[in-house]
Structure 1
Amino acid sequence: MKENLWNRFLNLFFPRRCACCKQVIAEGALCESCLPSLKTLHSPVIPCESPLDGLTAVFYYSGAGAALMREFKFHRQFQCYQLLLQETFENQIDELYQKFNCSIIIPVPMYIDAKRKRGFNQSEYIASRLAKSMSLPYQPSAIKKIRSNKVQHHLSKAERAENVKNVYKVQLPHTVADKTVLLVDDITTTGATLQECAAVLKAAGAAKVYGAAVFFTPHVQPLDKV
């Protein structure tokens, strides 16, 4: 995706830096040295447990990929997603999920205080653009996160699953009843968040729920220790 003229103009006065190594670059979001560390999954279909009917991610959350997501997610550097992640993500998800006839796209919600503090929900941003790309209805209000919980990053697999219990609620059941839902998040590791959201969607009447994330973090051994 090419940059617009406004971004080029801003870059004259506020030199752009590589999201990964921070050296000044003329355009884009990564320098030529860091770009090769942006890795896509060789097999984007990730084994998952019920209630998800399928789970897919496109990039590894490592190297330049992790740097791009951090800049996008925590510093609102939207070009980091737009220039190097969006097109590949949308094309792969569209290709993989065409055969399942998804009927609605829903993002994983954030707790209201966390969203207010960050200024936006990155999963909503990603999902809304995916819905437009796939020409599917988009419903950001179907699920609500009704309470805060611990940050998942440092938790074990078992702790992650417990941490998301009773955190999400479907507030618009009629929008998901008998539908095949494509549930979108920014990053998945154990799939706990997506699985819990899928569980509440199915309890509200969704026929099938598929998960899609931009990034996958393989949960290495330390995450399996309680």
Structure 2
Amino acid sequence: MFHDFKDLLFPRLCQSCEIILKRNEKVLCTRCLHALPVTNYHLEKGNPVEAIFYGRMPVENATSLLLFEKKEMVQKLIHNLKYRGHEEIGAYLGNWLGNELKQSEFYRNVSMVIPVPLHKTKLKKRGFNQVEAFGKEIAKALEVPYKDQILLKVSSSQTQTVKKRFARWGSIGETFVLEHPEEIEDQHILLVDDLVTTGATLEACAEKLLQVRGVKISIATMAVTH
């Protein structure tokens, strides 16, 4: 009764088309859910996400749940997550991908989930790391720890989008530091982020983590550009 009254006053809307959700629907209506451009890259070795990092750094596995296109559904989802505070989107996508990875032979040996960090200034302004709920749900599905105090961002850099990839890597790499590296020795880390484009930020994070003895890196993101 309470939930019915609450839904009447504050109806739950689809985060894509904004129609009122039915009781059994979460975050997305059934129509939008089935319209999402799902990649299934977690089932495919040598997939386009892995190809982004080929020859740049050793990656065990890499995947993205969805394909990102400007002015399309996935862009709206990530925008609503990052800038409108709808953290339930991250949790929804993390639960979805986490249960997919749990069934994939490629991710069975993951022993820890670490998010790409936000600088504390941006974290304070936004109020949350948009990757947190996503990463926590994946960690829960894989039954491994979620660690967000290992990899830290120590300086806030200006937007790098107009710079070339190799120039970006040089400037981004200096902004990440490791805390308590002994906690990740010999771990297979799943590094998670919202969106992979050039892969520069993920590469810089992975390079820091790979400095620790025995570390292996896999990558999972909500979406990938194509």
Q: Per the shorter chain, which TM-score range? A: 0.7 to 0.9
1:1-226 superposed matches below 5 A: 9-26=5-22, 28-31=26-29, 34-44=32-42, 45=47, 46=49, 47=51, 48=53, 49-62=56-69, 63-83=72-92, 85-96=93-104, 101-152=109-160, 156-218=164-226
Q: What amino acid is aligned across from residue 135 of structure 1 in structure 2?
A: E
Distance 1:208 1:17, change over 3 A: same
1:90-144 CA distance string (max 9 Å, x none): 1222233655512221111110010111111121221122111111122110101
Q: What amino acid is aligned across from residue 150 of structure 2 in structure 1?
A: A
Query: Partners in 1 of 2:149 and 2:136 — Cα distance?
Result: 12
* SS in structure 2 at match of 1:122: coil
Q: Which runs of 5+ in 2 are unaligned?
A: none
Query: Partners in 2 of 1:183 and 1:97 — Cα distance?
Result: 17
Conserved 8 A contact 1:109-1:124: no
Conserved 8 A contact 1:35-1:64: no
Deviation at 1:13, TM superposition (A): 0.8
Distance 1:86 1:54, change over 3 A: closer
Number of matched pairs: 213
- Larger mean CA deviation between 178-187 and 107-116 belongs to 178-187
- Structure 1 length-normalised TM: 0.80
Conserved 8 A contact 1:150-1:163: no
Deviation at 1:23, TM superposition (A): 4.2
Report the identity percentage. 28
Query: Partners in 1 of 2:188 and 2:106 — Cα distance?
Result: 12
- Aligned CA-pair RMSD: 2.6
Deviation at 1:43, TM superposition (A): 3.3
Query: Partners in 2 of 1:156 and 1:8 — Cα distance?
Result: 52
Conserved 8 A contact 1:145-1:167: yes
